[in-house]
Amino acid sequence: MWLRISAIVMRYFFLHRRSVARVMEIFFWPVMNLLVWGFVTYYLKELALPKTVLFLLGSVILWDVLYRSQQGITLAITEEFWVKNIINIFISPISMGELLTAICIVGIIKSLVTTVVLGFLALFFYKFSLLEIGPGLVLFLGNLLLFGWGVGLFTMALIFRYGRAAEALIWGVPFLIQPVSAVFYPVTVLPVWLQKIAYLLPSTYVFEGMRQVLATGVTDISILGISFGLNLVYLLLGALYFNWMLRRVREMGYLSRLHLE
């Protein structure tokens, strides 16, 4: 099993090595996002809002982890549709579980590389160290990766079912989650009814916890525990929905149609 998974990981490695566009995609948008928000926060710092600067820079970097992990699953498999390789994968000895495992490993590597680059740029341009979050940083990043995978499985299931008509969800779903996750502001800013929805998302606890750490220096493990518990639920539901939708697609013959689109 691990030999097949490592082979898929190496395949994506060679794809990135031979494609400047794929490598640039890892860095270009995250760096542009950091620069734009970074200079906005620099302006806020001039307005004597130092804590706000830390919150926004931390949020920009952490949000990219969630976004990348979701896209790591959705874009990787969608590309197989675009190059008409999806049928080859299904008739090969590789199982869908092995494919998803390899994609998640590649996603972890890409997320770590992007986070390190953004961390250095934030330190160089804005004197903000991501390490200020402390040892809990690993747990924050881990929870965001898990939630991104859960969202990615759900999104990919819809793309399998509805084809290219649903491809906009690859980029749309994360930004539907972003306002409710309280990425750039505390949950208390939201209307009361929306706060109840926000607390159903694991990402909300991560960003609330990040702000608490930067403000007080204390990591609330209970918040991370709640986030992890919710992540397990979302991952389970995402996996079950993905498997169910994939089975229906096979039974109804949609897979060959997707291959021909």
Rounded CA separation 138/202 (Å): 15
- Decide which of 24 and 175 is more confident: 175
- Decide which of 9 and 42 is more confident: 9
Q: What is the mean pLDDT of residues 225-254?
A: 88
Predicted local confidence at residue 160, as pLDDT: 81
Question: What are the angstrom distances between the C-alpha of 14 and each of 8, 22, 40, 130, 183?
Answer: 10, 11, 37, 30, 34
Q: Can you state the angle between helices 50-82 and 96-126, rounded to 10 degrees?
A: 150
pLDDT band at 29 (very low <50, low <70, confident <90, very high): low
Select, from the ranges 118-127, 180-189, 233-242, the one with the highest average predicted confidence (pLDDT). Answer: 233-242
Predicted local confidence at residue 6, as pLDDT: 81
Structure tokens at 60: 């920009």
Domain with 46, as residue range(s), is 2-260
Predicted local confidence at residue 215, as pLDDT: 81
Kindly report the pTM of this predicted structure. Answer: 0.84
Predicted local confidence at residue 36, as pLDDT: 63
- Decide which of 147 and 90 is more confident: 147
- Among 63-77, 106-120, 163-177, the minimum mean pLDDT is found in 163-177
Q: Can you state the angle between helices 202-216 and 50-82, rounded to 10 degrees?
A: 150
| Residue that has been written with the tokens 């919710």 in this structure | 230
Q: What is the mean pLDDT of residues 43-67?
A: 72
Structure tokens at 137: 């940083």
Rounded CA separation 253/261 (Å): 13
Predicted local confidence at residue 38, as pLDDT: 64
If one counts the domains in the chain, the total is 1
Predicted local confidence at residue 87, as pLDDT: 75
Q: What is the mean pLDDT of residues 76-104?
A: 79
Question: What are the angstrom distances between the C-alpha of 24 and each of 27, 63, 68, 83, 132?
Answer: 5, 19, 14, 20, 28
Number of C-beta neighbours around residue 220 at 10 A: 15
DSSP state of 19: -
Output the average pLDDT for the chain.
Answer: 81
Predicted local confidence at residue 257, as pLDDT: 60
